[in-house]
Amino acid sequence: MASTANHTDLGLLDLTDFELDDVPTWWPQVHRAKPPLTCRTCRAPMTAVQNLNNRWRKRFFKHLAAEQAAPDCWLRKSESEEHFFLKHELARRIREFPEWTADVEHSGKDWRADVLAEGTNGRRIAFEVQLSPASIAEISDRTARYADAGVDVCWVTDNRAATWFGTVPSILIQPGKHFGKTVADGVRELMRAPLRGIAAVDVETIEPRAFTPLPGHSAPLRNQEMPWWTWPHLAALTEVPTMVWPCKPMPFPAAEHERAQIVFGFYGTRSLRSVLKGVLDGDLLPVALGGPFREHTRSEGWNTTPVVWVSRTDIAQARKLLAFAAGWRVLTQSGSACETCGGDDLLLLYGWEEFTAQVCSECDADLYTLVRAVHEQIEYPQITEGDRDAPIRLTVNHALVYKKRTGQHAAAAASG
pLDDT band at 130 (very low <50, low <70, confident <90, very high): very high
Q: Who wins on pLDDT, 131 or 207?
A: 131
What average pLDDT does range 58-68 have in this prediction? 83
Mean pLDDT of 401-414: 33
CA–CA gap between residue 392 and residue 378 (Å, rounded): 8
Q: Using an 8 Å Cβ cutoff, are 61 and 5 in contact?
A: yes
CA distance 70 to 73: 5
- Summarised one tens digit per residue, pLDDT across range 306-335 is 788 999 988 888 888 888 887 788 887 777
What pLDDT shows up at residue 134? 94
What is the pLDDT, as a whole number, of residue 217?
38
Please name the residues in contact with 204: beta carbons below 8 A apart, sequence gap of 6 or more.
Answer: 383
Give percent of the chain above pLDDT 70: 74
Is the per-residue pLDDT at 385 higher than 60?
no
Q: Is pLDDT of 387 > 60?
A: no
What average pLDDT score do residues 293-301 get?
55
* pLDDT, tens digit (0-9, with 9 covering 90-100), for 191-208: 877 777 777 666 556 665
Of the listed ranges 186-200, 241-255, 282-296, the one predicted with least confidence: 241-255
75 Cβ partners below 8 Å, 6+ apart? 1, 2, 39, 40, 41, 42, 63, 69, 105
Contact partners, residue 111, CB within 8 Å, separation at least 6: 126, 142, 145, 146, 149, 151
Q: What is the value of pTM for the model shown?
A: 0.81
For 341-365, write each residue's pLDDT tens digit.
Answer: 888 889 888 877 667 888 999 988 8
Count the residues in the chain: 416
